[in-house]
Amino acid sequence: MRIDLHAHSNASDGTDTPAELVAAAVAAGLDVVALTDHDTVLGHAEAEAAVRALPAGRRLTLVPGAELSCHLDGISLHLLAYLFDPAEPAFAQERELVRNDRFRRGRAVVERCRELGAPISWEQVERIAGTGSVGRPHIASALVEAGVVASVSDAFTADWLANGGRADVRKHETDPAEAVRLVRAAGGVPVFAHPGAVKRGRTVSDQVIADLAAAGLAALEVDHTDHDEQTRARLRGLAAELGLLTTGSSDYHGSRKTVRLGEHTTDPAVYEALLAQATGAVPVTG
């Protein structure tokens, strides 16, 4: 069983449509893939239809999910949520609040980039983002198109879009303990995404992770491209101490990042344990 529990479509800042992501997951030889767009479930219906329409002999299980933008004491962090009820109103409202604020913030970031001399426009970013939840990676693609930086990752520096960078503007982000409770109340399973991704900015302390465990966190995403071996070992130890499961996932973003689907995977026993905790939705198998 090859299980990848973190992938983005163009419903947020990935480049594959949800149907293309399903095809890519089959091509990568995955048995299970989770669709975890930033602060939105808008890609679920298309991905589920694509899984149901797979030809005989091509099997894939889709785990509907999302990745929530959270914020604590000046630190941004991401919470993966699996198999929640998308119609549960409190959590749906919070996703909508974050998603809507992405538009205000996106315009403000573009304005800052222009003040700093980058010839990009909001119309260009809208074209790149399409119907997707607008984020910094779309603006990074605009900066690449304009020849300001050479690559999306080169846009995430102090000069431009990195946390605290010259063109960084905050968006509304949820308190992580509150997010854990919202996910659980919607029948979902919350997992802390890339908790030790230091290249993205400051990360939270072990005490914060312990507090989230107490609030209902299920697991830490340990095997992730932004974690070195030492970080993985430390997080595995912490998870054992706190009674948390550990997952591994690619955080695939299509051509916007270099990581490949299935580059990191989750143990089947861990996947089963996560499934057993979910009451809001069920995986879709084609």
Q: Which residues in this chain contact ligand AMP in the complex, by CB under 6 A?
A: 13, 38, 69, 135-137, 153, 156, 199-200, 253
The correct pick among 13, 37, 46, 173 for binding Zn ion (CB under 5 A) is 13
Q: How far is the CB of 11 from ligand AMP (least distance, A)?
A: 13
Q: Which is nearer to Fe ion, 35 or 148 (CB)?
A: 35
The correct pick among 3, 22, 183, 193 for binding Fe ion (CB under 5 A) is 193
**Residue 136 binds which of Fe ion, ligand AMP, Zn ion, none (CB < 5-8 A, kind-dependent):** ligand AMP
Question: In the beta sheet, which residues pair with residue 248?
Answer: 223
Q: How far is the CB of 70 from ligand AMP (least distance, A)?
A: 11
Q: Which is nearer to ligand AMP, 44 or 253 (CB)?
A: 253
Q: Which is nearer to ligand AMP, 82 or 156 (CB)?
A: 156
Stretch that binds Zn ion, among 9-17, 167-175, 178-186, 264-272 (CB under 5 A): 9-17
Q: Which residue's CB comes closest to ligand AMP?
A: 135
**Residue 193 binds which of Zn ion, Fe ion, ligand AMP, none (CB < 5-8 A, kind-dependent):** Fe ion
Q: Does 78 bind Fe ion (CB under 5 A)?
A: yes
Residue 171: which of 10, 38, 16, 8 has the closest Cα?
38
Compute the distance between CA of residue 17 and CA of residue 135 in angstroms, rounded to an integer: 16
C-beta of residue 251 within 8 angstroms of C-beta of residue 137: no
Q: Which is nearer to Zn ion, 9 or 265 (CB)?
A: 9
Q: Which is nearer to Fe ion, 6 or 184 (CB)?
A: 6
Q: Using the Cα atoms of residue 130, residue 13, residue 11 and residue 186 in order, give the sign of their dihedral.
A: negative
Q: Which is nearer to ligand AMP, 135 or 280 (CB)?
A: 135
Q: How far is the CB of 38 from ligand AMP (least distance, A)?
A: 5
Q: Does 39 bind Zn ion (CB under 5 A)?
A: no
Q: Using the Cα atoms of residue 25, residue 264, residue 62 and residue 81 in order, give the sign of their dihedral.
A: negative
Q: Which is nearer to Zn ion, 15 or 231 (CB)?
A: 15
Burial of 130: CB neighbours in 10 Å, binned 0-12, 13-18, 19+: exposed
Structure tokens of 125? 């970013």
**Residue 153 binds which of ligand AMP, Fe ion, Zn ion, none (CB < 5-8 A, kind-dependent):** ligand AMP
**Residue 69 binds which of Zn ion, Fe ion, ligand AMP, none (CB < 5-8 A, kind-dependent):** ligand AMP
C-beta of residue 238 within 8 angstroms of C-beta of residue 203: no
**Residue 35 binds which of ligand AMP, Fe ion, Zn ion, none (CB < 5-8 A, kind-dependent):** none
Residues binding Fe ion (CB under 5 A): 67, 78, 193, 251
